[in-house]
Chains A and B, each alone.
Chain A
Amino acid sequence: MLGVVVVALVLAGCGGPSSDEQDRDSAIYAAMIRWFVTTHPPAAMQDPDDLPTVYIEPLGADEVPIEIQVEVIDLLADFVVVRFTDEREESVEESVDGQPVHDGSILIGLAPIPTGEAVAVRGEVYRSADEISGYLVTVEHLGSGRWGVTGTPIDVPVEGLAPVAD
């Protein structure tokens, strides 16, 4: 019994980012998602009062820490509904021709963030199997904890969000 509690505590406690790192990474991801949603808008919702849902998948082996996920969701709460996913089928209708994202929305892939005041982060956006793009997005610290996408993102080949094979 005590062993189970200890194991759970260890599992829950390890690997979390510090508060400053967390704020920084959350702000960078939020800026990238905002840019992707603006440049690749999801289909409009039937009820105009409802915000569209966009799906987020990590590019690479590591998942986005839950603290950062929560902060990103909160930062974008008035702009878009953010849903972090574990499996492709959570966001993509794999059995439908063209494998589109649910409800005409988009799936955004986000790579790990390097250190620095201006960072180039890989991001990919998927609308359907035929409509996937990869970018290297530069995000800069604008002061007071705010981060924004600057310059024009560079097109790069798609790696992480390649469509699921039939």
Chain B
Amino acid sequence: MGAATSTTETAPGWVRSLADVARGRSDLDKLLRLHPLHSAGEAFFAVSLAGSLFFNVSVDAARPRILLYLALTMAPFVVLAPLIGPLIDRVRGGPRIVMSATLVGRAVLAVMLASQLRTLLLFPLAFGILVLARTYAVSRIALVPVLVSDRGRLVAANARLARIGTVGGLVGSGIAVAILAAADAQWVLRGAVVVYGVAGLTALRLPLTTSPDAEAPVEEYLELHDPVIQATTLDMAALRAAVGFLMFHLGFVLKTDGAPTWFFGLVAGLSAVGGFAGNIFAPGLRRRYREQAMLTISLTAPALAILVASLRLHEITIVVAVVVLGVAAAVARRAYDSVVQTRAPHAKRGQAYAWLETRLELAWVAGALVAVMARASGWLGMLGLAAGMGAVAALHARRTRTWVALREVRRTDPLAVRLLRTAEQLAAQGDVEQAVVAAVAAAEIASGAAADEDVAGPVRDLRDMRASVLAGAISVPQEQALAMARQVVEPVEVSP
């Protein structure tokens, strides 16, 4: 025993890390033990679809059903999102219940699916598994901040989970493909039942935690509604939507082009490899670049790769686009987690993370829905996706420039001038309410400094506008407010 301990202590870091996970020393280790099992189960399920009806029926005939079940996939998130967070935060053992239920539920559905791969029940059962997998994802993201006591380790913990999950998925894929080659898709699904079952039991060993604050602190609410977090969530949602779109678009395109089933597997596998590579590269990128720059790269690189694929649609360009998007989604995730960790230090509760993750999951489904509804030809769909991602990247770059400009407001300028510049930048990024409030504050300070009766009128008008904003007025003349504030502030600016 002593010898074993000594061997572990002298082993490389990653071996010690794996040994810790195997022993389940920390609360996070217990989740790290569960997550690869979940990913392996997902891989088994995905591989089993190779033997399903999907490859035998025509896409156009199957499309209304896929559309139906994808649309229905959205519904549970709307209902479940407000339930999962509180369950994780308030109920002792809530995470165990939710995560174990999603895994056991998938085991049950996989049992049923094993005998229905060649019937139309394939669609509801497969989408049922999809819903439970997405619910698990929301629960996992919500659970991590509860398990990680040191707030500064949250990003690293999520990255570690992503890496170990990808390894689990790749190992699971290998085993599942071997089973498919030796037997058939039904046996692959029976394998999935075992993996999901074991994962469901493993989930029951998750710690009995509750969040320190069951009620949302005001700071958390304000931080999560910070324009930077909101905008970054939109960027991340766009990437998730792109992943959902590309998955379904390529599914249709490759089938229509008569691509062999193994090529679907290759594309899915390389997407996972891309995600793994992204998780490996992300820390290095993070040391070199700010989060927003990482997001710019993550939005631009796949847009370009997809554009190339649309202009020259070929197996190789498709594979490159899928890998680049996989890498980008993983890098962006790391940047996103970092933004949330930095800008929302009071967000400790699972509910907060469940709320953010649900939006990302919905974006994935929305992207998939667009692909199914549009049923565009291969190149056109890819071109549309590249254009969409390019537009998001351009908006992101514009916002980032605004934030940089905000940071660059000269500290030596009078406070009124700085507030006015801030108001202008806020207006430029579309935050009307904050822009008007900042403009009024600038004018009030400037009017005090100027002690000028001439500015009393504009300041009074500006105060009325602020009152309208605070009362929730829908239409606020922000340009007029800024012009009036300039009128009051700028004489101060030029004065010695």
Contact = CB atoms under 8 A, between A and B. Distances in A.
Given A81-B56, A84-B56, A89-B256, A8 B61 contact: no
Interface stretch (A60-68, A141-149, A156-164): A60-68
Contact of A87 (B68, B256, B369): B256
Contacts of B60: 63, 86
A65 B120 CA distance: 12
B53 interface: yes
Given A83-B55, A89-B256, A12 B67 contact: yes
A97 B78 CA distance: 54
Given A66-B57, A70-B118, A90 B258 contact: yes
A64 B256 contact: no
A114 B224 CA distance: 63
A158 B72 CA distance: 43
Nearest to B78: A1
A91 interface: yes
A81 B71 CA distance: 31
Most buried by A among B55, B56, B64, B68: B56
A160 to B, nearest CB: 15
B312 interface: no
Nearest to B63: A11
A69 interface: yes
Contacts of B70: 8
Given A1-B75, A5-B71, A82 B56 contact: yes
Interface residues of B, number: 27
A84 B67 CA distance: 19
Nearest to A90: B258
A11 B120 contact: no
A45 to B, nearest CB: 14
Interface centre among A11, A81, A82, A102 (most CB of B within 10 A): A11
Contact of A90 (B61, B64, B65, B255): B255
Contacts of A65: 61
A69 B59 CA distance: 11
A73 interface: yes
B108 interface: no
Nearest to A57: B58
Nearest to B65: A12
- Residue among A11, A70, A77, A102 with max Cβ neighbours from chain B (10 Å): A70
Interface string B24-58: 00000000000000000000000000000101111
A28 B117 CA distance: 24
7 contacts: A8-B70, A9-B71, A81-B56, A84-B56, A84-B58, A90-B257, A102-B258
